[in-house]
Structure 1
Amino acid sequence: MTARILPLAAGATFLAMLDATVTNLAFPDLQRDFDGATISGLTWIVTLYAVSFAALLAPAGRLADLLGRRRLYRAGIGVFTLASLACVLAPNLPALLAARTVQGAGAAAMVPVSLAVLLHGTPPEKRARSIGLWSASAALAAAVGPSVGGVLVDLLDWRALFFINIPLGLALFWTARGLAPEPGEGRLPDVLGTVLLGGGLGVLALAVSQGPDLGWSDPRVLAALLGGAAAVALALTRSARHPVPAMEISLWRNRDFAVTNVVSFFYGAAFFPWMLVGVLVLTRMWGYSELEAGLAMTPGAVSAAVASVLMGRLAAPRTAILTGSLVMLGTAVWTWRALPEEPRFLAFWLPCGLLIGIGMGALATGTAGSAALSVAPVRFAGATGLNTTARQLGGALGTAVLAALLSGPRAGAEEFTTVYAYCAIVCALALLAGLGLRTAVPAVSTAAREGAPA
C-alpha cells in the first residue's frame, strides 16, 4: 500500500458518502429558496442520489474490468465534480434533482473502484486493516455530513454544500494520474438490466413516499408498486442469465456474502432515515439553528470514525456486525421510548449520538470487511459494488418510508418517535441476519490469491 493509494481510495469514498447526508441540514434553507417545496418533496434530493448510486454501483465493478481501474476512477471523479457544479448553479428544484441523479452516477463509479485500487495494492495480511481505514473514511463522511452541512448553510447557503466538492474532486482527479495504467478487458455490462434496476428502484421509492398522501389503494400507487417490483425482478432475472450482468448475483452463492448484503440493506434502511430525522428533531422540535444542529451531531461522527478504525484492527467482520447492530438497536429503542420534547443535549442527545456513531462505524466496517474478504481479489470491485448497492437500496427505501411517516403538514414528536421505532425494527432485522454469518471469514485459495476467479 503506497502513501498515494490510501488518500485516493479514502478520498473518493469520503466524497461519495458525504454527499449522501450533507444535504439533510439544508432542508430549511431549500424550502426558503424554492417556494412551495415540502419536506416530502425535498427528500428526493436524498432519494435520487441514493437510487442512482445503488443502480450503477454493481455494473461499475464490471466497468472497472472493461476500462481499467485508473480510467474508471478518474471518470467517476470527473462526473461527480461536474455534477456538483451543476448543483451549485441549479436555478430550481427540478434542475437540482437532475444534477443530484448524475452526481449519484459519478459516486457509483468512485466507490467500488476505490476499494479495489486499495486492496490490489495491499498485501493479503494487511487487507483487513486497510478495509477498516477505508470504512472509517466512509463512516466519518456519512456521519459528519450533517455537521458540515449545518456549518456551511449557517455561514453561507445550501449551494456551498456542493461547491466544496469541486476543489476536492479536482485534487483527486489530478492525483489519480499517478495510478498505474491497466489495459481494459471484458464487455460492457447489461445496459437494459441497469436501466430496469434504476428505474424500478426509483418507482418503488416514489410509491412508498406517495402512498400516505394518495392512499395505498390509489391506482397510481398500486401501479408504481407493481411496476417497480416487476422492473427490479426483471433486472435480477436478466442478471442471472446475461454473460455480463448489471448485477453480479453469482456472488450471492457465497453464503457469507449473501448474508452480508442482507445486513447492509437493513443498515442502510435504518441509517439514512436516522440521520435525517435527527436533523428535523433538532431544528423543528428543539428549535436549534442549522449551525447548532450540525455541531450537536458532530460527536456521533467522531465516535463512528473511531469505531471503524478500532473494529477494522481488533475485531472479525462478524463481531463488528453483531456489535454494531446491537448498539444501534439499543440506541434506537432508547430514543423511541425517551425522546424529550424539550432540548436535553447533555443528558440525552450526546450519549445517544456517541452510541449510534459507535454502532454505525462498527457496522460499516463489518459489512465492508465481510463482503470484500469473502471473495477473491479479482472480484473486489464487483463485491464492493454489490454490497454498497444493498446499503444504498435500503437507504433509498428507508428515506421513502421516512417521507411517508412525515407526510403530514406539521410533523412533530409523535411522528419523529415513529421513525425511531421503525429504525429499531430494522436494526433488529440486521442483528438477526448477522447471526447467520460464520464466525471466521473463509480463507481464499491460492488460485484466488493469484487473481483467478473464485
Structure 2
Amino acid sequence: MTEMTTARKARPTRLVAVGGTFLAMLDSTVVNLALPTLHRRFPTESISTLSWVVTAYVVMFAAMLAPAGRIADALGRRIVFLGGVGLFSAMSLAAALAPNLGFLIAARTLQGIGAAAMVPAALAILLLDGPAEQRARAIGFWSAASAAAAALGPPVGGALVDAFGWESVFYVNLPFGAAMIYGGVRSLPRPPRAQHSIRSRMPDPVGTVLLAAGTAALTLGVTQGPSWHWTSPGTLAALIGGAGAIVAALLYTSRTRVPAVDTSLWRIRTFAVTNIVSVFYGMAQYPWLLVGVLYVSTVWHYSPLQAGLAMTPGAVTAAITALGLGKRLAVLGPRRVLLFGLVAIVACGVWLVLGLTQQPRFLALWLPAGLLVGVGMGATTLATSATAALSAPPVAFATASGVNTMARQFGGALGIAVAAAVLQTMDGARAQAYERVYVYCTAFVVVAFLITLWRMRIPAPPQATMTQHPAGESREQVADSR
C-alpha cells in the first residue's frame, strides 16, 4: 500500500478527530459575546450569575481532561470519543432549549464534561489510527483546530447572536455533532476484544473523582477570585480544598493497581517541562484573546460582530502556521518551533504595549498584530502538544494530551484572573488598562521562553518495542526518556 493510499484511508478518521477538537475548543469562547443577549433573556439575573454559563463549561472542561485521557487510554479512545461527542451534542440541545438559567448552567456543566472526553481521545485517534510516519503532521491538524477554534469563538458567536439569537450558538453544534458520530461509527477502528474486563482496566474511581474535584475547585477559585475577592471564604475554600483533593488523589491512587494519576509520566523530563511551559503559555493565550475583544469593543466601540471579525486574522494565521509547521516538525524539531512561536508572541506583545491607542487603528496596528500573534500561537500550540504527547509512550498518548491541555486551560484561568484584577483596578474604557494586561501576558510568555531555552532538552527517539495495550491493543511502547 502506497503512502498516498494510506493517507487517503486515514482522512475520514482525521476529519472526525479534528472536528471534535474544534467544537470542544470553540465552545470555550463562543458564548462570551452572548452574555449581553442572555441578560435580556434573563433580566432578573446579575451579570456575575450569568457568567456561570461560561465558567461552568471552562471549569468542568479543565477538571475532566486528565481523567478523561486516562480513561481513554484504559477503556479505548473510540468509545470515549463517541461518548463525549454524544454527551456534548445532547447538552448543546438542552442548553438551547433551557427554560431557566439554572437549567442552562447545568447543561453547560455536562457539556464541558463531554468536551473533555473528546479532546484527548481525538489526539490519541490521530496518533494511533493513522500512519505512524505522519504523526507530526496529524498533531499539526489537531493543533490548528485547537488554536483556530479558541480565536474563532468570538467572531462565530458574535455573528450567530446578531443574526439568530443566543440559542444559535448551541444549535449550531447539533449537525456537526451528528456528522461526527456518524463518521466516527463508520471510520474509527474498533479495538480488538479486550483480554481483561472493563472493571480491571478502569483507573481507580476514588482517585479519579478526587482528581477531577480538586482540579475543578482550584480552577473555580482562580476563575472567581477577582469577583469573589481572594480572601473571601468561598475563594479560600475552593483553593485550599482543591489543592487538598489533588494531594489526596496522588496519595491514594499511588497504592492502587490502575492509578488515576500516571505519575510515571512526570518522571519524563521533557513531558514535565512542556507542561510547565504550557501553564505559562495558557496564562498569556486566554486573557490575550479575551482582552482583545474587550479592547476593540470598549475602547474602539466596535459592535460584537465587528469585534469578533477583528479577531479572525489571528485565527487564520494560527491554523495555517500549525498546518505548515506540522509538515516540517520532524525536520525543524519541536523545541525550535516552540522557541519561534514564543518569540513571535513576545514581539506582538511589545508591539501592542507600545502601540495601543484610544482611536481605532485597525490596518496600522490591529491587523499586523493579529497576524503575528496568530503565527506565534499556532507554532506554540503545535510544539507543546507534540512534545507532550510524543514524549509519552503510545499507550499513554490520550493521558499525556489530556494533562497538557489541562495545564494550558488551568494557566488560562490564572491569566484571566490576573486580567480581570487589572481591569477592575483601572478604567476599562482607557487603552492604558489593556496595555497593562498585555504587559503581564508578554511577561508570562517570556518566562515560558526562558524555561524552554534553559530546561527543555528533547532526546532522540528511543528504540521502540512492542507491548500490549491495556485495552487489548498491541502498540509500540516507547521507553521513558528522562
Using a 3 Å threshold, how does the CA distance of structure 1 residues 336 and 236 change in structure 2: closer, same or farther?
Answer: farther
Partner of 1:327: 344
The answer to whether the 8 Å contact 1:318/1:437 transfers is no
- Distance, in Å, in 1 between the alignment partners of 2:433 and 2:183 is 46
- Distance, in Å, in 2 between the alignment partners of 1:406 and 1:91 is 33
**Letter paired with 1:310:** G
Matched residue SS, 1:4: helix
The answer to whether the 8 Å contact 1:70/1:181 transfers is yes
Q: Percent identity?
A: 50
Give the CA deviation at 1:220.
4.1
- Distance, in Å, in 2 between the alignment partners of 1:164 and 1:317 is 35
Partner of 2:476: 451
**Letter paired with 1:288:** Y
- Distance, in Å, in 2 between the alignment partners of 1:350 and 1:43 is 29
Aligned: 1:202 with 2:216: yes
Give the CA deviation at 1:380.
1.3
User: Superposed, which structure 2 residues align to 1:212-227 within 5 Å?
Assistant: 212-213=226-227, 215-227=229-241
Using a 3 Å threshold, how does the CA distance of structure 1 residues 42 and 401 change in structure 2: closer, same or farther?
Answer: farther
Give the CA deviation at 1:409.
10
Using a 3 Å threshold, how does the CA distance of structure 1 residues 116 and 220 change in structure 2: closer, same or farther?
Answer: closer
- Distance, in Å, in 2 between the alignment partners of 1:173 and 1:215 is 43
The answer to whether the 8 Å contact 1:210/1:404 transfers is no
The answer to whether the 8 Å contact 1:43/1:403 transfers is no
Partner of 1:181: 190
Partner of 2:12: 4
Structure 2: runs of 5 or more not aligned: 1-6, 468-474
Using a 3 Å threshold, how does the CA distance of structure 1 residues 371 and 293 change in structure 2: closer, same or farther?
Answer: same
Partner of 1:356: 373
Using a 3 Å threshold, how does the CA distance of structure 1 residues 46 and 406 change in structure 2: closer, same or farther?
Answer: farther
- Distance, in Å, in 2 between the alignment partners of 1:188 and 1:203 is 24
The answer to whether the 8 Å contact 1:12/1:114 transfers is yes
Could you tell me the TM-score, scaled by structure 1's length? 0.92
Asked which structure has the greater CA Rg, the reply is 2
Structure 1: runs of 5 or more not aligned: none
> Which one of the candidate residues 76, 80, 104 is aligned to 2:112?
104
Aligned: 1:390 with 2:407: yes
The answer to whether the 8 Å contact 1:191/1:246 transfers is yes
Give the CA deviation at 1:43.
4.4
Partner of 1:70: 78
**Letter paired with 1:287:** H
Task: Say how many residue pairs are matched.
Answer: 454
The answer to whether the 8 Å contact 1:308/1:362 transfers is yes
Aligned: 1:165 with 2:173: yes
Partner of 1:301: 315
Could you tell me the TM-score, scaled by structure 2's length? 0.87
**Letter paired with 1:373:** L
User: Residues 252-271 of structure 1: CA distance to partner in whole angstroms, max 9, x if unpaired?
Assistant: 11100111111111222221
- Distance, in Å, in 2 between the alignment partners of 1:135 and 1:23 is 21
Give the CA deviation at 1:400.
3.2
Give the CA deviation at 1:419.
2.2
User: Residues 21-44 of structure 1: CA distance to partner in whole angstroms, max 9, x if unpaired?
Assistant: 212222332333333656655544
- Distance, in Å, in 2 between the alignment partners of 1:14 and 1:409 is 35
User: Superposed, which structure 2 residues align to 1:242-321 within 5 Å?
Assistant: 242-314=256-328, 315-321=332-338
Give the CA deviation at 1:212.
4.5
Using a 3 Å threshold, how does the CA distance of structure 1 residues 198 and 71 change in structure 2: closer, same or farther?
Answer: closer
Matched residue SS, 1:21: coil
Matched residue SS, 1:158: coil
User: Residues 362-406 of structure 1: CA distance to partner in whole angstroms, max 9, x if unpaired?
Assistant: 111001111122122222111111111211221233333333334
Q: Which range moved further: 168-177 or 226-235?
A: 226-235
- Distance, in Å, in 1 between the alignment partners of 2:76 and 2:245 is 30
The answer to whether the 8 Å contact 1:265/1:390 transfers is yes
- Distance, in Å, in 2 between the alignment partners of 1:243 and 1:51 is 29
The answer to whether the 8 Å contact 1:40/1:406 transfers is no
Give the CA deviation at 1:176.
1.0
- Distance, in Å, in 2 between the alignment partners of 1:448 and 1:374 is 17
- Distance, in Å, in 2 between the alignment partners of 1:45 and 1:440 is 40
User: Residues 172-198 of structure 1: CA distance to partner in whole angstroms, max 9, x if unpaired?
Assistant: 001111222123554322333333333
Using a 3 Å threshold, how does the CA distance of structure 1 residues 420 and 97 change in structure 2: closer, same or farther?
Answer: farther
Aligned: 1:115 with 2:140: no
Give the CA deviation at 1:166.
0.7
Q: Which range moved further: 297-306 or 151-160?
A: 151-160
- Distance, in Å, in 1 between the alignment partners of 2:398 and 2:26 is 20
**Letter paired with 2:441:** C
Q: Which range moved further: 69-78 or 23-32?
A: 23-32
RMSD between aligned alpha carbons? Answer: 2.4
> Which one of the candidate residues 147, 151, 173 is aligned to 1:139?
147
The answer to whether the 8 Å contact 1:59/1:245 transfers is no
Matched residue SS, 1:452: strand
Partner of 2:472: none
